[in-house]
Structure 1
Amino acid sequence: MVRPKEFDERIALAAAMQVFWEKGYEAASLSDLTQRMNIQRPSLYATFGGKRELFEAALKAYVQSSLTYIENQLRSDPSVKKSMLAYFQGVIHGAGGSNPDFGCLCVNTMVELAPHDPVFADITGDFQARLTELFQRTIDHGIQSGELPKQLNASSIARVLTLSAIGLSVTMKTKPDPARVEHAAAEILTLLE
């Protein structure tokens, strides 16, 4: 007879995601993970596979929740400029209770694993493409509403905003002098003028 699981997979996965976010893939040990997930190693293996499979599941969950959060944030204000400013300020100061010192788990993975692992390159590439789509839809909405100039190339600007968000996230992990990034969000959004 198979024993029923004595833990909630979603809660355990969220705990693992937090460990990976704080430490990165390589530095997160199985002991760190099982302790935070409040499970034993056999349960981790039986439920998620190994560390790599657990990380892949955690990253995919992070990507989905992050994109949903960003989409909601970009729709939170009727003003495209205000919602974009709030998004970029969230990257600088931490959004949704996140710690900007941890950066974005997906961006961290772009740096740590994607250059030499095609699975993680695909996941992070998909994240970038979907973020660009969110930015483009938001810019298109601003053009249609008359808030943004009609001559803007929404597709090009969306790609640059994605690269800016990624670069800003990496920069925030270095704990820069606040004066260096204080006006970054407003400066990035001059692209919308």
Structure 2
Amino acid sequence: MGRPKQFDPDVAVEQAMDVFWRKGYVRTTPQDLVDALGIGKGSLYNTFGNKHALFEQALRRYRDSQTVALIEMLEEPGPVKARLRKTLGFLAETDLADPDRRGCMAVNTAAELAGRDEAATELVQRMFALTEDAFRALIEEGQRSGEIAPERDPAALGSLLLNTVAGLRIMARVAESPDRLVRVIDATVDFL
């Protein structure tokens, strides 16, 4: 009897994240995962339990890489509005450069599963809350530095920026050029 193929579960979660990100949860089959991970179905189920459990791990991995990276960009030194413009521009450029036009896995999951999948909905809500809190903190910093008017509601602006990011990520999936995205970014930053 042959020895089972060895694989790194951490790498497998990363590979599964890419499959779920490209195809979504519903359209991803166990065979898609087996093919992408290069393991047998037995190893897939023995290691991760089921497709949904692996999806949750992949969504957490997305949060830990993408959401954290966004927050880190917002926390870099420099003027608040310049950091915001740079961060929004980076998201737009990254999405437009992606040949698969995957957009944002959290936004995609919200559109696909919100209200129908409690665990996925909860994970996405937490990702959105982290991002919104980072935007609120950025607005508060801008108010302290004088870049943003002190009478503006930081929580409301944080929500607006989260909504702007979600919209940008969706628009980038179908954009033929960056023009519209650049207009949205410019208008958003100028609005503050």
TM-score by length of 1: 0.89
Residue 89 (structure 1) shift: 1.1
Which amino acid in the other structure matches residue 45 of structure 1?
Y
Matched ranges for 1:129-168 at <5 A: 129-168=129-168
Count of residue pairs brought into register by the alignment: 189
Distance 1:65 1:25, change over 3 A: same
Report which stretch shifted further, 13-22 or 73-82.
73-82
Residue 12 (structure 1) shift: 0.7
Report which stretch shifted further, 134-143 or 99-108.
99-108
Matched ranges for 1:53-92 at <5 A: 53-92=53-92
Distance 1:4 1:141, change over 3 A: farther
Superposed CA deviations along residues 89-137 of structure 1, whole A, max 9, x for unmatched, are 1221117x85681100011000011132222211111111111101011
Residue 191 (structure 1) shift: 2.8
Give the conservation status (yes or no) of the 8 Å contact 1:15–1:36. Answer: yes
RMSD (CA atoms): 2.0
CA distance in 1, matches of 2:38, 2:142: 46
Report which stretch shifted further, 125-134 or 97-106.
97-106
Residue 5 (structure 1) shift: 7.8
* In the alignment, structure 1 residue 47 sits paired with structure 2 residue 40: no
* In the alignment, structure 1 residue 183 sits paired with structure 2 residue 178: no
Superposed CA deviations along residues 55-102 of structure 1, whole A, max 9, x for unmatched, are 11100111122221011111224111111111111221117x856811
CA distance in 1, matches of 2:134, 2:98: 21
Report which stretch shifted further, 24-33 or 101-110.
24-33
CA distance in 2, matches of 1:191, 1:157: 10
* In the alignment, structure 1 residue 94 sits paired with structure 2 residue 94: yes
Structure 2 residue aligned with 1:128: 128
Structure 2 residue aligned with 1:106: 106
Which amino acid in the other structure matches residue 63 of structure 2?
V
Report which stretch shifted further, 170-179 or 117-126.
170-179
Structure 2 residue aligned with 1:19: 19
Give the conservation status (yes or no) of the 8 Å contact 1:94–1:100. Answer: no
Give the conservation status (yes or no) of the 8 Å contact 2:92–2:172. Answer: yes
Distance 1:36 1:182, change over 3 A: same
* Unaligned ranges ≥5, structure 1: none
TM-score by length of 2: 0.89
CA distance in 1, matches of 2:159, 2:120: 20
